[in-house]
Amino acid sequence: MRYGRDVRGVGMTSERTRDRLIRRLKREGIGNDAVLARIREVPRHLFVDEALASRAYEDVALPIGSRQTISQPYIVALMTEALVRDLKPGDKLRRVLEIGTGCGYQTAVAAPFAQHIFSMERLLSLITRAQKLLKELEISNVSLRHGDGLGGWKAQAPFQGIIVTAAPADVPGELLEQLDEGGRMVIPVGAHGGQSLQCITRTADGYRREPLGAVSFVPLLPGTGN
């Protein structure tokens, strides 16, 4: 495989730096080995600005332009772990909807756990960059769309998994409707300063909600932009 940029990484993006991140995530309670292995594998330094590449394997959120941030690895691991909780090793979720592609890092981490990921982003500049990078990394089971994710992606519903990486005040009804029975949505909910990460499972007679902890995401905004 040949890449335009250094995918495996050297120096600050080396194997040792990645091992240190994985040890930290384990200490913080991430227990799913497949998720940890995937976090170790995805070259996070390519998703952030080059000037910040040396900090890519620290457990911190970093700017990705357009006043948005790439989530800290712990949160990406926690959300992915919740999403794939019921999967047997080697199994995949059939269709996953992601709202808030951003730089595409969370998409890349989740990709091997789904047959297909449908990911929406309201900012054109971010989705254009994500598209290019995911292609460079040869991640091909992903469809990206520039649009407001509040209404979900009806034509591709229902989804066995939905992952939302920006926070609405309340869980959008359209997203609940597009969740398949037995499917699971991982979503931060609430105003800035008081958000909680929720894991919502659709059951035969409704929805079961489970809080996963306090988080701090950018807000889910209506409409689209450049």
Catalog residues that contact ligand SAH under the rule CB under 6 A: 64, 68-71, 99-100, 102-103, 105-106, 120-123, 126, 148-150, 165-166, 218, 220-221
Residue 126 CB, nearest approach to ligand SAH (Å)? 5
How far is residue 132 from each of residues 47, 50, 129, measured CA to CA in Å? Answer: 11, 16, 5
Residue 204 CB, nearest approach to ligand SAH (Å)? 29
Which CB atom, from 13 or from 106, has the smaller least distance to ligand SAH?
106
Catalytic position from the list 66, 71, 140, 143: 71
Which CB atom, from 68 or from 201, has the smaller least distance to ligand SAH?
68
Asked if residue 112 has a cis previous peptide bond (ω within 30° of 0), the answer is: no
Environment class of 66 (CB within 10 Å of its CB; exposed 0-12, middle 13-18, buried 19+)? middle
Residues in the chain: 226
Which CB atom, from 68 or from 178, has the smaller least distance to ligand SAH?
68
Chain centre to alpha carbon of residue 32: 16
How far is residue 158 from each of residues 33, 90, 93, 174, 204, measured CA to CA in Å? Answer: 28, 22, 12, 11, 14
Residue 1 CB, nearest approach to ligand SAH (Å)? 23
Annotation says 71 is catalytic = yes
Rounded CA-CA distance 142/98 in Å is 10
Q: Which residues pair with 144 in a beta bridge?
A: 119
Which CB atom, from 81 or from 121, has the smaller least distance to ligand SAH?
121
Residue 214 CB, nearest approach to ligand SAH (Å)? 17
Helix axes 15-27, 33-41, angle to 10 degrees: 150
H helix intervals, 123-194: 124-136, 173-177
Which CB atom, from 34 or from 221, has the smaller least distance to ligand SAH?
221
The CB-nearest residue to ligand SAH is 102
Residue 35 CB, nearest approach to ligand SAH (Å)? 15
Active site residues: 71
